[in-house]
Amino acid sequence: MKTIKDEKRGRKPGYGISRKTLFSAAASAFAKLDPRVEIRNPVMFVVWVASVLCTVVAAAQWIGGSPPDSFVSQVIAWLWFTLVFANFAEGIAEAQGKARADSLRSMRNAITAHLLAADGRIKEVRSSELRRGDLVACEAGDLIPGDGEVVEGVASVDESAITGESAPVIREAGGDRSGVTGGTRVISDRIVIRITADPGEGFVDKMILMVENATRQKTPGEIALTILLASLTMIFLIAVVTLYPFSQYIANESKTPNVLTILKLVTLLVCLIPTTIGGLLSAIGISGVSRLMRKNVMALSGRAIEAAGDIDVLLLDKTGTITHGNRMATELVAIAGVAREELATAALAASLADQTPEGKSIVALVRSSGAAVAGLEDGGSFVPFSASTRMSGIDFPGADGRADPNRAIRKGAMAAVREVVEGRGGKVPAEAMAASERIARTGGTPLTVSVGNRVLGIIHLKDVVKQGIRERFVGLHAMGIRTVMITGDNRLTAAAIAAESGVSDFIAEARPECKLEAIRKEQAAGHLVGMIGDGTNDAPALAQADVGVAMASGTQTAREAGNMIDFDNDPAKVIDVVEVGKQLLITRGSLTTFSIANDVAKYFAILPAVFSGFYAAGGKSPLAALNIMGLATSESAILSAVVFNALIIIALIPLALRGVKLNPKAGASRILRRNLLVYGLGGLIVPFVGIKLIDMLLRALGLA
């Protein structure tokens, strides 16, 4: 089965266009000539009206016995070509999306689900019959019949159909990795899943709708730009309408025939209005969704992608985003007067039931030294880690059967353990504080171990900053984005990681509610904030953030709170999301600049040639000096302009689909200067060159 990530292998996806895509786009281009479709784009609707008007006038002349000349026929043909080419740009973007949708749709084939009935029996039903809240059992080899959350058991799941990664992942009940997606396969063990989406509402269904453009709505930026383009079109419409009485007056005064016919004025209007960006605007938006899909991220709306390009503050978890997240125990530091064996035994006792990577690494380290745990036969009770207490441990009963505080073992953050120790009348030795600070300064994570009111020593955990993350942050900072790392580690550890990774700022010793507070504070200061999360405790912050990226493996609450879903479950993906959003905005801005510059250039290229025939009674017109391009006649000038106007849309389709190249390290001001030079100055020069070459070709072929 073809997966999304399959497209990442081999040639660049979306840039090589297959024959099937071309045929589909061509058929779509003609289907979109329907006025009910064209009216959604004000600029292109004006072109449609102009094309229909010219066609009707020419048809009336033909019926009246005066067939239109070659000039009129060519102009009308190229007006329709302008519409078709604009629709073709959108059609290619949609066809590429539909090709991806076809591969996704193959995952929605009916699957037999093992529905758990109320009486405990298992009933086999089709996946299409499942509803939100139903419980289904999946065993090794079963396809998961729908999106849901694991409520019982733990299993290895093959998600390659979604992510393209062959390595299976663990999905288990009760944690932040409980989310499963329909169409993936259980590799081992047995799990019970609560279905969280009705048929047609799952992630794959939403992905299909997004890439097929079925639910895509215009973003605020597109709406604002459409209003601007419509305003410019209205201005040019008024200007062109006033040219006819003006030309009639000049003709009467100069005793020369009026060379400005209705056909020429209509064609002139089409050449002057921003048809280039008007024809490509929708394709740019659709291709932005496609580029994000190639990153294996689903945006729940086009607004989210646009917002990603505007954010200026990025809130990042340390673990898994900036660092690899697999903190490993590397050293046990016992304080004076405490035997290393005693520290090792206490650390092992507090970690035996700890299933986190950190807990498992502590067990592995201690067991390698041959330590054992005494007292478990007395009925020790494990105390799990929580984000609010920031520690875990084990309680042993006393003579009365109750938990004995003098035998209670705790391991966790220094501040949390110190509070417990001092609450029981003890004191943290200065040696332990110094060891904790030393480890923190080197970027490690110190865990303090205590028994009752005594501190035994420190466990040194190491986490590694991801390779290349510093360079990516440099690029984000150059674009004006401030990065803020948030972590539950102490300030020294956080400062060391922040310095090594190159983030702008950090928040240390953070509790779950700190993320929400940080986002609200930044938004109150006028910033747009992006973040990524996967747990239920991340949901409020994901909902509050302007761009909230939830991981597909996370809880249902987190996935519903975010406006993007990352199917790779890679916390660092939020950086890719920002870059795609930036590229979308830069592409739209660059092509808008090029289009408007084109219009300005065409104005000065065409009008002098059009008016060069006035005041020419008995000799050369004085206005001919303004025809600096030396265009042969007003007819050749207009015909050359309308041909150029149509062809430039086709020429820019690859750029609209691929996007303007983004170099984050260049910085926002440098990118702006470069794009103004390339697309602003280039947009002024290209029409003069293009129209002149087309004019020469038309004269050489005898078409003008």
Query: What is the sign, positive or negative, of the torsion defined by CA atoms of 551, 553, 559, 565?
Result: positive
Encoded tokens for 166:
């062959």
Nearest alpha carbon to residue 427 among 408, 450, 406, 404: 450
CA distance 194 to 172: 12
C-beta neighbour count of 399 within 10 angstroms: 6
User: CB–CB of 530/181 below 8 Å?
Assistant: no
CA distance 77 to 702: 17
| C-alpha separations of 326 from 98, 444, 445, 462, 569 in Å | 39, 12, 12, 8, 15
CA distances from 286 to 11, 81, 161, 460, 482 (A): 20, 22, 23, 49, 28
Both tokens of 229, joined, read 């383009």
Give the Cα separation of 86 and 67 in Å (integer).
Answer: 29
Instruction: Give the C-alpha distances (Å, rounded to integers) separating 589 from 288, 291, 312.
Output: 13, 17, 18
Question: Which residue bears the tokens 């041909």?
Answer: 643
Pairing of strands 122-126, 112-116: antiparallel
The single residue listed with the structure tokens 């920002």 is 578
The maximal CA–CA distance of the chain, rounded, in angstroms, is 124
Q: Which of 147, 158, 205, 317 is catalytic?
A: 317
How do 391-395 and 185-188 pair as beta strands? unpaired
Whether residue 527 contacts residue 312, with contact meaning beta carbons closer than 8 Å, is answered with yes
> 490 with 415: CB under 8 angstroms?
yes
- Percent of residues in the chain assigned helix, strand, coil, to nearest 5: 55, 15, 30
* Helix or strand (DSSP H, E) at 643: helix 634-658
Q: Report the alpha-carbon distance of residue 246 to residue 250 in Å, rounded.
A: 6
d(CA 116, CA 674): 62
Strands 313-317 and 482-486: parallel
Helix (H, G, I), strand (E, B) or coil at 184: coil
Neighbouring C-beta atoms of residue 254, cutoff 10 Å: 15
**Pairwise CA distance, residues 553 & 538, whole Å:** 13
Q: Is 317 a catalytic residue?
A: yes
| Cα-based angle 439, 371, 356 (whole degrees, multiple of 5) | 55
CA-based nearest residue to 530, from 549, 550, 547, 512: 547
The answer to whether residues 497 and 322 touch, using CB atoms and an 8 Å cutoff, is yes
Compute the distance between CA of residue 629 and CA of residue 688 in angstroms, rounded to an integer: 8
Q: DSSP string spanning 14-83?
A: TTS--HHHHHHHHHHHHHTTSHHHHTTSHHHHHHHHHHHHHHHHHHHHHHTT----HHHHHHHHHHHHHH
Q: Coil, strand, or helix at residue 395? A: strand
Mind telling me the catalytic residues?
317
